[in-house]
Structure 1
Amino acid sequence: MPSNNEIAVPGDLPSGITEKEYLSGKISVLRNRNLANVFYRLGFVEIFGTGIARIKQLYKESLRKPDFEVTENTIKIMLPVYEENMNLTEDEKKVYNILSKTMLKSMSEIAPYVSFGKSKTAQLLKDMQKKGVVEVEGRGRGTKYIIK
């Protein structure tokens, strides 16, 4: 899978803010001015205190979504490489999220991670190949798949 960019901020949530409120992006308290300035200079943030909502908005059309982890001592945000939707069906997205851009994967490495059978998975991979999303290498039992 593509790598994530990870941001970890030491400390817990500001007093009076629940994890649910924090992740909704509706309430925010600026805690790390240096990090906020980096995002501001990169053009990711126009107004301080809107980070979570902006991150979610930026990834709205992406196949891979950011992951937020709130623990007692840190708040961690994993930002995946942005990938456009490419008009994939919901089932195709499930298969896509298992594939890699750098490593060929066989059907036996894909099938255990999806909720449907090998024949449907094979058909989805074929459809994704027609859409130009997946590249197929090999034949028969040696067939492997990779994201283009």
Structure 2
Amino acid sequence: MFGTGILRIKQAYANEVVQPKFKVEQNCLAIILPVLNVEHDLNDDEWTVLSQFKTDELLSKRQLLVKTDLSSSKLSRVLAKLTTKHFLTKVGAGRATKYHK
């Protein structure tokens, strides 16, 4: 049973909207576990975008435009809100920007 903690945490959050964050540093490991039983105040567009992500998947804005019926400007606003609310993490900058849960 030893050494299964991280795997068990990932399995517990596999189908959830919010995911745990793992921060590994030289002398420590920090795990941030989000609360699961709280109602999220997300609108339909935000749920539509979040539902496109699978666990540990990186998606660009262009990929999300193809998968959703949102306009480019609307998608930009939704991605900014989801990033601010910590549902998504932004990786990279400019044309190379991608997002993940």
Per the normalisation by structure 1, the TM-score is 0.42
**RMSD of aligned C-alpha atoms?**
1.8
Instruction: Provide the aligned length of Structure 1 versus Structure 2.
Output: 68
Distance 2:16 2:56 in 1: 16
Q: Could you list the runs of 5+ residues in structure 2 that have no partner in the other structure? A: 1-13, 18-35
Runs of 4+ in 1 over 3 A off after TM superposition: 82-85
**Cross-structure match for 2:3:** none
CA deviation string 1:5-25 (max 9, x = no partner): xxxxxxxxxxxxxxxxxxxxx
CA deviation string 1:61-108 (max 9, x = no partner): xxxxxxxxxxxxxxxxxxx82445532111100000112331111111
Distance 1:82 1:100 in 2: 10
**Cross-structure match for 1:89:** 43
**Cross-structure match for 1:106:** 60
* Alpha-carbon distance change, 128 to 82 in structure 1, aligned in 2, over 3 angstroms: closer
The 3-state SS of whatever aligns with 1:145 is: strand
1:126 to 75, 80, 83: 80
* Structure number with larger C-alpha Rg: 1
CA contact (8 A) 1:94 1:114 kept: yes
Per the normalisation by structure 2, the TM-score is 0.60
* Alpha-carbon distance change, 82 to 126 in structure 1, aligned in 2, over 3 angstroms: closer
- The one-letter code sitting in structure 2 at the alignment partner of 1:86 is H
Q: How high is the sequence identity, in percent, across the aligned residues? A: 24
